[in-house]
Amino acid sequence: MATSPLSTSASPADPQGTAAAEAQANIHVVCAEPSIANHFLAELRDKEVQKDSLRFRRNLQRLGEIIAYRISAHLSYTEQTIQTPLAETRGKLLHDFPILATVLRAGLPFHQGFLNYFDQSPSAFVAAYRIEGTAQVQVQVDYLSAPSLDERVLILADPMLATGKSLVQTYRAMLRFGTPRQVHIAAVIASPQGLAYVAREIPEANLWVAAIDEGLNEQAYIVPGLGDAGDLSYGSKL
């Protein structure tokens, strides 16, 4: 797929650099246009609504479903004869279900949204975490389970794209399972610099995000963001 380097330069009229990102053919910002996705994202960010962790996980799932639907327009379908109870007709069936990869923990509800639509897809799981106590964010990839990726469509989904290191290291580690023929990377919220890093390091990927935020704080959390997606989904960890 055709790609070009990303420059997400923010301007006063476009503080989040969304227009610049959208100008890139391979970057899709789902909440740049009015749709119910904006409502789900607003609820995800709201610290009062976040107290309901069931709703938080469900909203991640619903955004996974919406992005899955958008990606589905880029997949191939085969026309087949279908027998209804009344007559024969023709239908278009997805013949090559994508491999759905995600990063523990926060990726799990988002992944479920993709799986709800691509219900015959195999899954791949990765454990990646930030190493504490380092000046710069460093990410350790620990556990990886995946089918062969050779010649497959791969969708790698992780709700938070902060520095982008988790996604880049995860993708590189996954390549030992083969070379996909089409790659989609999906996140709910991205920082401009993280998105630029992923676009630069994985130029073959189509990038799908619900929103691009202003930037990162000193802890490399996305601002305004939503906080810690893993903790909000599953509780704080020691």
Ligand X SMILES: O=P(O)(O)OC[C@H]1O[C@H](OP(=O)(O)OP(=O)(O)O)[C@H](O)[C@@H]1O
Task: Give residues 97-126 in contact with ligand X (rule: CB under 6 A).
Answer: 103, 105-107
H-helix or E-strand spanning residue 196: helix 192-201
Chain centroid, CA 77 distance in Å: 23
Q: Which does 161 bind (CB under 5 to 8 A by kind): ligand X, Mg ion, ligand URA, none?
A: ligand X
Number of residues assigned to the chain: 238
From CA 159, how far away is CA 208, in angstroms rounded?
11
From CA 226, how far away is CA 222, in angstroms rounded?
8
Q: Mask 174-213, x = binds ligand URA (CB under 6 A)? A: ----------------------------------------
Largest CA distance in the chain: 67
Q: Where does this chain touch ligand X (CB under 6 A) — which range of 12-20, 50-58, 156-164, 202-210? A: 156-164
From CA 15, how far away is CA 213, in angstroms rounded?
9
160 binds ligand URA (CB under 6 A): yes
CB of 108 to ligand X, least distance (A): 8
Q: Which does 180 bind (CB under 5 to 8 A by kind): Mg ion, ligand URA, ligand X, none?
A: none
Question: Could you tell me which of 117, 107, 99 has the C-alpha nearest to residue 154?
Answer: 99
Binding site for ligand X (CB under 6 A): 103, 105-107, 128-130, 137, 139, 158-166, 194, 220, 228-231
Binding site for Mg ion (CB under 5 A): 228, 230
